Amino acid sequence: MRKVTTPVITIIVIAICLFLAGCSQAQNKSDPAATATSTDLLKANWDEVASQAKGQTVNMYMWGGSESINRYMDEWVAPRLKEDYEVTLQRVPVNDINDTINKLLAEKQVNKKEGSVDLIWINGENFKNAKEQDLLWGSFDKQLPNFNQYIDANAPDIKDDFGLPTEGLEAPWGKAQFVFIYDSNKIKTPPTSMAQLADWVKQNPGKFTYPAPPDFTGSAFIRQALYETTGGYQQYMKPLDSDSLTPKLSPLWNYLNSMETSLWREGKTYPESLAKLDQLYANGEVWMTMGYDPARASNEIKKGTFPASTRTFVLEAGTLANTHYLSIPFNSTHQAGAMVAINFMLSPEAQIAKFDPLNWGEDMSLDLQKLSPEDQKLVSEIDRGIATLPAGELASHRLPELPSAYVDVLDNGWLEYVAK
C-alpha cells in the first residue's frame, strides 16, 4: 500500500475546504433566505424584496376556527400568491393566537434566531403583549406598495390598535364589528340595548349565552356590556388606572350576574368558544349567537349551517369595532416572503375578494376613496347576503375598542365576580 505523505494530505485538505466553501457560497446565492439581512429588507426597494421572496415558504399562524376564512386563505390567496409571486403560503391554524405569542416569547428567551412563525394574524391584547416583549420584527408597513397606495395610515382605527400605536409593526388586514345574530322566526323584535337584552334573557330562559372569557368573542361581549352599564365608552379612552376603574365595574358584574340563572344551562357552564356557541345556535338550543364578522350569518345561511330565518342586529348605542392586522415576528426566517404575502393581501384584488361573502365577507382595510372607479364599482355591486346589515348602518354604529390594557382586567374580573 502506497504511503501518502504529509504535504499531499495538506493539499487534499485545502482542496476539500475550498470546494466546500464554494458550495456554501453557491448555496447562499440560491437560498432566498440568505441573500439579505433583516435590516436590508427594511431599507430595500420593493423589487429587491420581491426577488428575495421567490421560492420561500411562509408559515402563517392564524386563528383557524372559521371554515370560510380558511377556505379563502387556502383556495383563493395561496394559489395566487404561488402563481404570481412564487411564494408558498402555509396556513398554520391555532385555537388562540395567544399561544403563538407565548411560543415566540419562549423562543426569545432562549435566543432562537430562526423561528417557525413567519407571519401572524394579530390585534388587541396580543399585539400589546408582542410589542411590549419585543417579539415583532420591525416597522415594515411603509415598505409595502399597497399600504402606501390604498391605506389611510392616519385614520384613528388604523394607526392605533386597541388604543396602542402600531408604529409600523403591523399592517391592517381588515375591519370587524360586533353584531348579534338571531333567528327571526323565534325572535320577532330583537333587543336594541343591553338592558333590553337582559329582560329578553329573563323572559326566555335557557335561550341565550355567551362564550366564557378570555375567549375573544366572550371578552368582547362583556366589554359591550361595560359601555352600556357604566355610562359609555368615552371615560375609558385613556390609560388604565386600576384604582379608579375597580369601583366603576360593579354595575357590570351586577348586570351579568342578574341574568346568569336564565342563561343556557342556568349559567352553570358557558361555551368555551364561538364555534361552540354557533353550534348551539345551529342546533336550536339557543336563539342567538354573536361575533365580529357582520357577514358571517349570511355565509352560514348559504352553507346550510344556520337557518334561513337568521338575521343580525346592532344596538342603538352602537357596537364594538376594530381593525385586525398582519405582523412579522422578530425571528421569522422568511421575512421577504412574509412582506410579499402581506402586500398581496392588501391589494384591491385580494381585499375585494375578501369583502365578498362568497369568500369571507369581511370589511376591507382599504380606503374606498383610494380605489379606482372600476374597483369602487365592483365593491358596490357585491351582494353581502340577506342577513348582512347595510354598510351605512354598520358604520353609523361603530364604537371604539377599549385600550388593550383593560382587556385582561375585565377578563380576570369576570372570572372572579361572575364565573365563581
Q: Give pLDDT tens digits for 216-239.
A: 899 999 999 999 999 999 999 888
Q: Give pLDDT tens digits for 240-276.
A: 998 899 999 999 999 999 999 999 999 999 999 999 9
Residue corresponding to grid cell 353581502:
384
Helix axis angle, 124-132 to 97-109, nearest 10°: 0
Which grid cell sits at 42? 427594511
Rg of the Cα trace of the chain? 25
Comparing C-alpha atoms, which of 208, 309, 297 is closest to residue 256? 208
C-beta of residue 227 within 8 angstroms of C-beta of residue 233? yes
pLDDT of 39: 63
C-beta of residue 190 within 8 angstroms of C-beta of residue 313? yes
pLDDT, one tens digit for every residue, the chain (420 residues): 333 344 444 444 444 444 444 444 443 333 444 445 566 899 999 999 999 999 999 999 999 988 889 999 999 999 999 999 999 999 999 988 999 999 999 999 999 999 999 999 999 889 999 999 999 999 999 999 999 999 999 988 899 998 899 999 999 999 999 999 999 999 999 999 999 999 999 999 999 999 999 998 999 999 999 999 999 999 998 889 988 999 999 999 999 999 999 999 999 999 999 999 999 999 999 999 999 989 989 989 988 999 999 999 999 999 999 999 999 999 999 999 999 999 999 999 999 999 998 888 889 999 999 999 999 999 989 999 999 998 889 988 999 899 888 999 999 999 999 998
Taking the mean position of all CA atoms in its chain, how far away is CA 110? 27
pLDDT of 37: 59
Q: What pTM was computed for the model?
A: 0.76
Instruction: Output the CA torsion 236→241→244→245 (10° steps).
Output: 50
Q: Tell me how far apart the alpha carbons of residues 276 and 298 are, in angstroms, rounded to a whole number.
A: 18
With b for 16 or more beta-carbon neighbours within 10 A and e for fewer, the 309-341 pattern comes to ebbbbbbeebbbbbbbbbbbbbbbbbbbbbbbb
Q: Tell me how far apart the alpha carbons of residues 155 and 313 are, in angstroms, rounded to a whole number.
A: 26
Check residue 323 and report its DSSP letter.
E
- Give 12-29 as a DSSP string: HHHHHHHHHHHHHHHHHH
pLDDT of 85: 98
Which grid cell sits at 82? 404561488
Q: Tell me how far apart the alpha carbons of residues 268 and 49 are, in angstroms, rounded to a whole number.
A: 54
**Which domains, ranges and CATH numbers included, belong to the chain?**
46-175+323-389 (3.40.190.10), 179-321+399-419 (3.40.190.10)
Give first-to-last CA distance, the chain, whole Å.
85
Check residue 311 and report its DSSP letter.
E
